[in-house]
Chain A
C-alpha cells in the first residue's frame, strides 16, 4: 500500500486499494476517505460511509491519531455500531511521545472491547504487529466484543453520549506529562497567519517553488532535447531499413515522435521539481493554513476558503483540482470551485508561461536576475488568475448560483516533519509519471493530427494555414494572431503542445521543431510580429481558456451534468476573449 497521505483533511477523496501479503495470504486493503464522523454531509464522507455499511470487508481498521485520541474515538464508536470486526490502530505514537502523551493501549483495548495496536507508520517494524492482528481476526483467532453506546434517542443525544464516553475513556488511558507541548507550533502559526506576514509569506513560498522550478528545469530539459534529437536519425534509419514507406515514416517520426519527445523534454523536468516541492508543503501541513488565511476574501465572494486548497491542487493538474473539490461541503460552492478551477494555470501551462516570461519580460537579462524576473512575472500571472477566480466566483454566486455562504469549519492539523525520501518517491511515481503518462496518451494522436493538418492541403496551402487564416481577423482583435489561436484549439487535448504548434506554423516547417535555447524561440516569435502586447495577451489567454480534455471529462464525472461541463468550457474562454480584447484595445488607444 503506497497511497500518499497529505497532512490535511481532504487529501484522500476516493477509495484507494492496495494488496499486501502475510503468511502467504493476500490481503486487500481499501483506504477510504478520512472522516470525522459517519453522518456528515460532504461527498468524501458519503463515500466512506457507503463502503463501511456495504459490509464488503472482513475487518475494519480504524486508524486514530495518538495525539488527539479523544476526538478520534468518536469515529471508533460510530464504526463499532456498524460492524463488530474492528481493530483500532493508534498511529503516530512517536509524535505523541514527543508531546509527552502516553497511552495505555491494553487498557484502551479492554475498555473498547476490540483489539488495539500501536504503530509508528514511519517505522516498518511496528506494522508487522498490525498485520498479524488483522490476520488473526480474519481467521477468527481474535474475537472482538465492542461495547455499544445504548441509544434509543435521536442522533444528537447519541453523539453527545459518544463524546462524553470518549472523554471518559481518554482520561483513563492517556497521561499528559507536558501540557505545553505544542508551543512551537503555536509560534509558527502566529507568524504564518499573522496580518502582516501571512499573505506575503504565502506568496514567497509560491515564488521560491517557481523560481527553483525555473532555474532547475533548464538544464535537464536541454539534455533530454539533445538525447531525443540524437535518437531521431537512428529511428529514421531503422524505419527505412525495414522498408517503411516514406510518408508513413515521416508521419511517425516527424509527427508522433517529435510531439511526444517535445512534451517529455518540456514537461518532465519542471514537474519532477515542482511536484516534490509542493508535496513538501502539503506534508508539512501548510495547505490548511493557506485556506485559513484566504477564507476572509473567499467569504466576501460567498465561497469557501477550502476553494483555495483545490486551487493549489490545480497548480499541479486541474483535473486533480476538480476531484479535490469534494472536500467542499456545500454543493453550490463546490460547483463554483469546479467551474473556476482552470483559472489557475496547471503544470502543463507553466512551461509555456515561463518561456514567454523569459523571452519577453526578462528579455536579454540572463542568469540569476533573469530567473528572478521570470518568477515575478509568473507570480503576477498567477495572482491575476486568483483574482479572476475570486471575481468570477463572486459574479456566479450573485447570479446563476445564488445562495448564502455555508460554514467554514476546517481543522488546522499540527505541523509534521515531512519524510523527504518518501516525498521524492511518491511525488515522482504518483504524480509526475501519472500526469506525464496522460499527456503522452493524448500527445501521440495529437501529433499525428497536427502533422496531417500541416501536410495535407489545397493548392500548396496546408490545412493548418487555411484554418489559421480563417481565425486571423478575430485573433487580431484579441491581440493574437490566427496561428496562436489555432494552436490553442489544437492544444485542447494537452496544453503543453501550444507553443510547439505556434513555432511550427511560423517556420512553415512540416513537423514540430525543437529549438534548444529560448533566445532562438524568441527570435522566431519576434520575426513573426510578436510584441510585448502579444506576449501579454498570450499569457492572459493561457490562463483563461478552455480546460483540457482530461479536465473536461473529470468535470463531467464530478458534476454529472453535460450542461455544467459545457459551461465550464465556455466560462473561462469567454472571459479570456473579453479580457484579451480589452487589453488589446486599451493598449492600442493609449500607446
Chain B
C-alpha cells in the first residue's frame, strides 16, 4: 500500500483520501476550515452532479458540494488508484 498525493478533483468516487494541503483562495479556504476540513481530515467523493461538476464530498458526517476548480487546489493523500478508471 503506497500512499500517494493527488488533487481532490482526481479522486475517484467512493475512494477516500486524507487532506494534505488546501491552497484555495482565502474566502473558500476559510469556509472549508469552518466546515472542519483541515490537514488529516478524511474525505470521500460520493456524488457527481449531472453536469459532472460540482461533486459532493463526505467529510465529518456531512456532505458538501465543491466545484472542481476549488477541488484542484486541495491536495490529498490516498491509496493508489488507476487514474484512467
Query: Judging by beta carbons under 8 Å apart, are B50 and A198 in contact?
Result: yes
Interface string of B3-47 (1 = CB under 8 A from A): 000000000000000000000110110111111101000000011
Query: Could you say which of A68-76, A435-443, A546-554 contacts chain B?
Result: A68-76
Closest B-chain residue to A158, C-beta based?
A: B33
CB distance from B29 to the nearest CB of A (A): 8
Q: Find chain A residues with CB under 8 A from B32 CB.
A: 409
Q: Find chain A residues with CB under 8 A from B2 CB.
A: none
The distance in angstroms between the C-alpha atoms of A386 and B53, with both chains bound, is 19
CB distance from B74 to the nearest CB of A (A): 11
Does A305 interact with chain B (Cβ within 8 Å)? Answer: yes
Query: Judging by beta carbons under 8 Å apart, are B63 and A412 in contact?
Result: yes
Closest A-chain residue to B29, C-beta based?
A: A156
Query: Could you say which of A24-32, A34-42, A232-240 contacts chain B?
Result: A34-42
Number of interface residues of A (CB under 8 A): 45
Cross-chain contact of A160 among B25, B33, B53 (Cβ < 8 A): B33
Query: Judging by beta carbons under 8 Å apart, are B38 and A296 in contact?
Result: no
Cross-chain contact of B31 among A67, A164, A409 (Cβ < 8 A): A409
Query: Judging by beta carbons under 8 Å apart, are A163 and B36 in contact?
Result: yes
Q: Find chain B residues with CB under 8 A from A70 CB.
A: 36, 60-61
Cross-chain contact of B33 among A159, A193, A410 (Cβ < 8 A): A159
Query: Judging by beta carbons under 8 Å apart, are A193 and B34 in contact?
Result: no
Does A166 interact with chain B (Cβ within 8 Å)? Answer: yes
Does A557 interact with chain B (Cβ within 8 Å)? Answer: no
What's the dominant secondary structure at chain B's contact region?
mixed
CB distance from A9 to the nearest CB of B (A): 10
Q: Find chain A residues with CB under 8 A from B82 CB.
A: none
Query: Judging by beta carbons under 8 Å apart, are B50 and A409 in contact?
Result: no
Query: Judging by beta carbons under 8 Å apart, are A71 and B52 in contact?
Result: no
The distance in angstroms between the C-alpha atoms of A37 and B31, with both chains bound, is 8
Closest B-chain residue to A189, C-beta based?
A: B47
Q: Which chain A residues (374-418) contact chain B, with CB distance < 8 Å?
A: 406-414
Cross-chain contact of B65 among A159, A329, A409 (Cβ < 8 A): A409
Q: Find chain A residues with CB under 8 A from B49 CB.
A: 193, 198, 292-293, 295-296
Cross-chain contact of A329 among B27, B46, B48, B67 (Cβ < 8 A): B27
Closest A-chain residue to B63, C-beta based?
A: A412
Does B85 interact with chain A (Cβ within 8 Å)? Answer: no
Q: Find chain A residues with CB under 8 A from B28 CB.
A: 406-407, 409
Query: Judging by beta carbons under 8 Å apart, are B31 and A407 in contact?
Result: yes
A40 with B31, Cβ < 8 A, contacts A292-B56, A408-B67, A409-B70 known = yes
Q: Find chain A residues with CB under 8 A from B51 CB.
A: 293, 295-297
Q: Which chain A residues (53-90) contact chain B, with CB distance < 8 Å?
A: 67-68, 70-71, 74
The distance in angstroms between the C-alpha atoms of A195 and B51, with both chains bound, is 7
Q: Find chain B residues with CB under 8 A from A414 CB.
A: 63
Does A449 interact with chain B (Cβ within 8 Å)? Answer: no
Does A194 interact with chain B (Cβ within 8 Å)? Answer: yes
Closest A-chain residue to B50, C-beta based?
A: A198
Query: Judging by beta carbons under 8 Å apart, are A412 and B56 in contact?
Result: yes
Interface string of A139-164 (1 = CB under 8 A from B): 00000000000000001100110011
Interface string of A288-330 (1 = CB under 8 A from B): 1001110111010000010000000000000000000000010
A412 with B34, Cβ < 8 A, contacts A41-B27, A189-B47, A190-B47 known = no
Cross-chain contact of A37 among B34, B50, B60, B65 (Cβ < 8 A): B34
Interface string of B53-67 (1 = CB under 8 A from A): 110100011111111
The distance in angstroms between the C-alpha atoms of A68 and B63, with both chains bound, is 11
CB distance from A293 to the nearest CB of B (A): 5
Closest B-chain residue to A69, C-beta based?
A: B61
The distance in angstroms between the C-alpha atoms of A125 and B45, with both chains bound, is 39
Does A476 interact with chain B (Cβ within 8 Å)? Answer: no
Does A186 interact with chain B (Cβ within 8 Å)? Answer: yes
Q: Find chain B residues with CB under 8 A from A329 CB.
A: 27
Query: Judging by beta carbons under 8 Å apart, are B48 and A36 in contact?
Result: no
A299 with B34, Cβ < 8 A, contacts A68-B62, A198-B49, A305-B54 known = no
A sample of 23 inter-chain contacts (CB < 8 A) reads A36-B34, A36-B35, A37-B30, A40-B31, A41-B30, A68-B62, A71-B62, A163-B36, A189-B47, A193-B50, A194-B50, A292-B65, A295-B51, A295-B67, A296-B51, A299-B67, A305-B54, A406-B27, A407-B67, A409-B28, A412-B56, A412-B64, A413-B63
Interface residues of B (CB under 8 A from A): 24-25, 27-28, 30-36, 38, 46-54, 56, 60-67, 70
Return the 6 tightest CB-CB contacts between A and B, nearest first: A296-B51, A37-B34, A198-B50, A407-B28, A68-B61, A412-B63
Given A292-B47, A292-B49, A407-B24, 5 more pairs with CB closer than 8 A:
A36-B34, A164-B38, A189-B47, A296-B49, A409-B28
Interface residues of A (CB under 8 A from B): 36-37, 39-41, 67-68, 70-71, 74, 155-156, 159-160, 163-164, 166-167, 186, 189-190, 193-195, 198-199, 288, 291-293, 295-297, 299, 305, 329, 406-414
